[in-house]
Structure 1
């Protein structure tokens, strides 16, 4: 096995010896649902402590998203290194009913470097926050304008009283703005568990050739957590501009948090 496989582990042990004790966050997974992790920087390397836990990420082109799933009811850990050199460590635990299906990981959750001066760290953090704030304001302005613009659905799918519509797809700069509408026509509240846009190749019936490549959102505007009975919500999700390879198509997967009212909207 090559040395670079162990490099993140060596750094992690070094930091844990020289730095103050740091409490690790616990991420719950099971063998029936996929848990996604979004990092602020693309993932470079990652590994789990046990082969019964699988962490998948794009190894060909660095992306911010990783997917977790478990095979057995055990406890393990996950170590992730991003392209900026940040290290993240988490406890992995099996649970039948998951408290959440997506985790946004921020730099504050990373392992602390004992040799990094607090002044430089604060200065870098301020710079990141200012840049993020400007970008967030830009996204918010355009998303607000899109929600106020009249539009007709381009694609829609309905199942068990739940309907998902793609209202608009707008390209601006290096981003794709997609306006969705989620409608609950039933008498039971709908709790949104997962909302994921993916590039898809092949069909689920042929598992060997089937691939789903999730597209990590950059910004979510008015994304609902729950839709009440006989209610509808419009929201905007901003993605990085992407291209489609031959044979690929887009799909939106909508999963209920604690239920079976799930939808797959095929866009291409």
Structure 2
């Protein structure tokens, strides 16, 4: 189980600007006892605002349980994103004597995004739907071209337990980065993807206090499958906003199986 201590201010501001924002619950912890949190869905990312707090969870296999501890210091906050995309934010504080050692997090405790419609597909009339935007059309056109090309710009690949993840190409276009991936299932068992994530990584997991893993949120996914059948190979493209890496950062691709332990972590730089 690994810890992260990076505070994404922009994400928090985006979801808490409205004056009607929900009040935040306070969770107390200390260094002598472990406080556990059970979320409705598996945890994807957990980040604390101060390094005297440590939030850890199983990053190798999808799990809903997170553990919180702290050294004595000022109060801070905890941001948790689940694999369903929901965000949860709590105030976290140090307390010598704890009254509660476990918290069951309810779905209605997630942050409400006033800018996101309740449905991903909005109906116009009858069964008709809004046509794809011009941006989506541009993404689709370029992604199609990239998949049709026979690229030889292999970056890196990783194989484990019959599953192989490969980066075919990394293309910059306008203000976006197009990553071409390949997943191959050489086993006799179908592979269901629980998490496919590109992240910036700073430090090493062995040094928890300085280790940071910041996922890069995709803008568009093209031909990405949720399940890969036995013996099948799929290629797909994921579009991300343009990013840069400093001399201490590297890219990492993480693939977690939804209901199993066939997990891979591919370091790109």
Do they superpose with TM above 0.5?
Answer: yes
Partner SS state of residue 29, structure 1: coil
Q: Please state how far the C-alpha of 1:186 moved relative to its aligned partner.
A: 0.4
Match of 1:185 in 2: 186
More contact order relative to length (CA 8 Å, sep ≥ 6):
2
Match of 1:212 in 2: 213
What is the alpha-carbon distance in structure 2 between the residues aligned to residue 156 and residue 29 of structure 1? 29
Q: Please state how far the C-alpha of 1:28 moved relative to its aligned partner.
A: 1.9
Q: Please state how far the C-alpha of 1:237 moved relative to its aligned partner.
A: 0.1
- Residue 163, structure 1, aligned to residue 164, structure 2: yes
- Residue 108, structure 1, aligned to residue 132, structure 2: no
What is the alpha-carbon distance in structure 1 between the residues aligned to residue 87 and residue 246 of structure 2? 22
What is the alpha-carbon distance in structure 1 between the residues aligned to residue 163 and residue 110 of structure 2? 38
Partner SS state of residue 136, structure 1: helix
Q: Please state how far the C-alpha of 1:11 moved relative to its aligned partner.
A: 1.6
What is the alpha-carbon distance in structure 2 between the residues aligned to residue 80 and residue 69 of structure 1? 7
Structure in which a larger fraction of residues adopt helix: 1
- Residue 11, structure 1, aligned to residue 20, structure 2: yes
* TM-score, length-scaled by structure 2: 0.61
- Residue 78, structure 1, aligned to residue 145, structure 2: no
Partner SS state of residue 261, structure 2: coil
What is the alpha-carbon distance in structure 2 between the residues aligned to residue 259 and residue 35 of structure 1? 19
Q: Please state how far the C-alpha of 1:29 moved relative to its aligned partner.
A: 2.7
Unaligned runs of 5+ in 1: 14-26, 37-50, 58-64, 88-105, 110-121, 123-128
* TM-score, length-scaled by structure 1: 0.61
Q: Is the 8 A contact 2:195 2:256 kept in 1?
A: yes
Unaligned runs of 5+ in 2: 1-12, 23-38, 47-66, 69-76, 91-100, 124-129
What is the alpha-carbon distance in structure 1 between the residues aligned to residue 45 and residue 213 of structure 2? 14
Partner SS state of residue 192, structure 1: strand
Match of 1:48 in 2: none
